């Protein structure tokens, strides 16, 4: 495939809640949520967890200024804590837009991130990023056009303090990024089914299993089995299990991978470094 038609996603962070490096998470990874998507030569980043740091380290700056868009599902700490450690934000000439659709009218994205990088919590303020970073607030449900040929549809998700789901459409293909969201047992989310309908790839919040869910039903997260049910109802081509609980080690994730393959063949479990082409 030529560069103009490239549509890929690379997983830089696959965990939820807190980073969990260690011998038990070597194969699936311990960094929190971060995806890098290429639509042609346009870079889109989804969430800014600890996986954002190695992504930034991989970019360097030898090829000149770097541009990109970062779309946040929400601003809980595990999804934004990579921002202060993203090296491209500190390099003059780089240009990034950071988007969020869950904060208005109570907050703005710029003030939320500024409050994260304030003494005595962090040694330098977020204004150090100026003029490399623009902050863009929208309302979940709006359609975005961040760059030529790319359409991003958005939808509100069921999560404490709100969150946004994204559907990226490019070159006749579509990628849905659905994290963090909860569900009601025995009731499929018809609005979400409609939003992800026919997608080529759906990355879904699979923090828990159905057996675990009753203990955490108010936490605003879902299960891999519910993701499979949504993917099947929406005729999604392939689902990726994502936002792994930090207590689920590699062996536990191997078990999920086997069960998911039996339940819906082709279902994948996200691993750091995994690259998929749509």
Instruction: Give the architecture-level CATH label for domain 3-277.
Output: 4-Layer Sandwich (3.60)
Domain boundaries, the chain: 3-277
Provide long-range contacts, Cβ within 8 A and 24+ apart, for 50-55: 50/13, 50/19, 50/78, 50/81, 50/82, 50/85, 51/11, 51/12, 51/13, 51/14, 51/82, 51/272, 52/12, 52/13, 52/82, 52/83, 52/85, 52/86, 53/82, 53/85, 53/86, 54/12, 55/12, 55/86
pLDDT tens sequence across 38-57: 999 999 999 999 999 999 99
Residue 222: pLDDT band (50, 70, 90) is very high
Q: What's the pTM value of the predicted model, to 2 decimals?
A: 0.96
Q: How far apart are CA 33 and CA 55, in angstroms?
A: 12
Q: How far apart are CA 155 and CA 178, in angstroms?
A: 9
Candidates 43, 105, 53; CA nearest to 80 is 53
Name which of 2-11, 21-30, 58-67, 84-93 the model is least confident about. 58-67
Average pLDDT for the chain: 96
The pLDDT, as a whole number, for residue 4 is 73
Residues 6+ apart with CB under 8 A from 235: 197, 198
Candidates 38, 115, 42; CA nearest to 83 is 115
Q: How far apart are CA 265 and CA 259, in angstroms?
A: 10
Residue 1: pLDDT band (50, 70, 90) is very low
């Amino acid at each position: 495939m030529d560069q103009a038609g490239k549509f890929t996603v690379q997983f830089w962070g696959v965990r939820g809640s807190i980073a969990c490096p260690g011998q038990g998470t070597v194969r699936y990874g311990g960094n929190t949520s971060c995806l890098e998507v290429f639509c042609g030569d346009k870079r889109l980043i989804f969430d800014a967890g600890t996986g954002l740091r190695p992504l930034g380290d991989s970019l360097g700056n030898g090829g000149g200024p770097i541009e990109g868009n970062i779309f946040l599902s929400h601003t809980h700490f595990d999804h934004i804590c990579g921002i202060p450690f993203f090296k491209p934000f500190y390099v003059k000439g780089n240009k990034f837009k950071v988007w969020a659709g869950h904060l208005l009218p109570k907050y703005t994205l710029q003030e939320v991130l500024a409050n994260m990088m304030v003494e005595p919590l962090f040694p330098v303020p977020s204004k150090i990023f100026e003029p490399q970073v623009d902050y863009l607030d929208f309302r979940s449900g709006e359609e975005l056009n961040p760059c030529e040929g790319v359409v991003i549809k958005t939808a509100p998700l069921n999560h404490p303090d709100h969150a946004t789901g994204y559907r990226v459409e490019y070159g006749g293909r579509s990628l849905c990024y659905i994290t963090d969201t909860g569900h009601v047992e025995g009731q499929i989310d018809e609005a979400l089914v409609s939003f992800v309908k026919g997608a080529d790839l759906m990355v879904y919040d699979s923090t828990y299993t159905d057996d675990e869910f009753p203990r955490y039903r108010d936490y605003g997260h879902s299960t891999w089995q519910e993701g499979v049910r949504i993917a099947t109802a929406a005729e999604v081509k392939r689902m990726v299990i994502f936002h792994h609980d930090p207590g689920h080690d590699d062996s536990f994730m191997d078990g999920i991978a086997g069960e998911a393959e039996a339940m819906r063949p082709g279902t994948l479990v996200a691993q750091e470094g995994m690259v998929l082409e749509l």
